[in-house]
Amino acid sequence: MRKFSTMQKILVTGGAGYIGSHTVVELINTGFEVVIVDNFSNSTPDSINGIERITGIRPSLHEADCSDIQAMQKLFFEEKNIDGIIHFAALKVVGESVERPLEYYRNNLLSTINMMQMLSEFGGKYMVFSSSCTVYGQPDVLPVTEETPRKLAMSPYGNTKRVGEDIIQDTVKASHGIYAIALRYFNPIGAHPSAEIGELPLGKPDNLVPFITQTAAGIREKLQIFGGDYDSPDGTAIRDYFHVVDLARAHVLALQRMIDGKSKATYEVFNVGAGKGVTVLQVVKAFERVTGVKLNYEIVGRRAGDIEKVWADTSLAQTELGWKALSTLEEALLTAWNWEKRVKGIKN
Ligand code: UFG
């Protein structure tokens, strides 16, 4: 990726989190000046140390809540000249969102509204929004393109992504000179190859790969595979897993597109995934193969709210952003394992 001659200042909300921290590294390595805002509700300041160890640069950090408008005004006033925002900060546990909908709507929607307001008030121009393939629900046709109709989400979390997209689209339509790109992520996995940063779930992981690595590390006794009766080659559900560093690069390319004036519309959407469907059992087998660790697992009933299968058509991201996933599933799983071993202090 090319370096910028004039340094652009980018605010990364949730920059201490899993995808945020990997994106901060790619931004710094591309020559951006990065400001992080994070309330550490699902992350720790350790990831900032990891970012510094990888890049040699410690980004400016504000501990604040993006849904707090006064705190955001203070931040934008102090930092001055923020050119754009990459907005990750959000609550993201699907099941929890069903139990605590208001918390999810309040936090995720207010944060997004505040970020758009800050761009307008302080003259920033660019927004990259962390959206999700959850906006497609269970699609009727696979793979999913950006034209695939969005469906009512299965959870309040999913709704916040759908409505978040709408808030951003409507705001750029009504503003002059603000550009936005929503990236609809499929299933990002893995960790930075340095093992300095990675996913750090608080408590029991909801997502497949952290559950696999914790089981391999002996933190969990057994992986439960949810559903063995899906319409797939081995009966387990299909997703599109791809490396988090590839996802981080997609954010940098999205920003560059807007900065370079290459956007074809003020609001654009891109799918980001490997473009390939893989079953849960295939992930388990790939993990065992690449790490040499045998996993204790059992196939149990389906998890409520899970869809059967989804994977992306990523041709738009390829032609327009010049992006595609470069790492293989095996490489991504190995980095996830190396990160888990580092966190747990497992040698070799
Ligand atoms: N799975 C298991 N056992 C586990 C955890 C997960 O079998 O312990 C299975 C799930 O049932 C699913 C697959 O592994 O079939 C992937 O599950 P994840 O929780 O890792 O990912 P999801 O696809 O369910 O969810 C992800 C994001 C959500 C987002 C959703 C959009 O984590 O934030 O994609 O579809 F909303």
- Which tokens belong to 305? 């709210």
Ligand 1 pocket test target in 132, 208, 285 with most atoms within 8 Å of CB = 208
Q: State which ligand 1 atom lies nearest to the alpha carbon of 161.
A: 36
Ligand 1 centroid from CA 121, angstroms: 38
Which of 104, 136, 157, 241 is catalytic? The answer is 157
Cα–Cα dist 282/284, whole Å: 5
Mean pLDDT throughout 130-148? Answer: 96
- Enter the pTM of the model: 0.97
pLDDT in tens, 173-184: 999 899 999 999
Amino acid 147: pLDDT: 97
Amino acid 348: pLDDT: 67
Nearest CA to ligand 1 atom 32: 207
Mean pLDDT throughout 254-268? Answer: 98
Amino acid 3: pLDDT: 56
Amino acid 5: pLDDT: 46
Look at residue 311 and tell me whether its pLDDT is greater than 50: yes
Amino acid 75: pLDDT: 98
Q: Are 212 and 295 in contact (CB under 8 A)?
A: yes
179 is catalytic: no
* Ligand 1, CB within 6 Å, residue ranges: 92, 94, 132-134, 158, 187, 206-208, 211, 223-226, 237, 239, 280, 303, 306
Ligand 1 centroid from CA 177, angstroms: 37
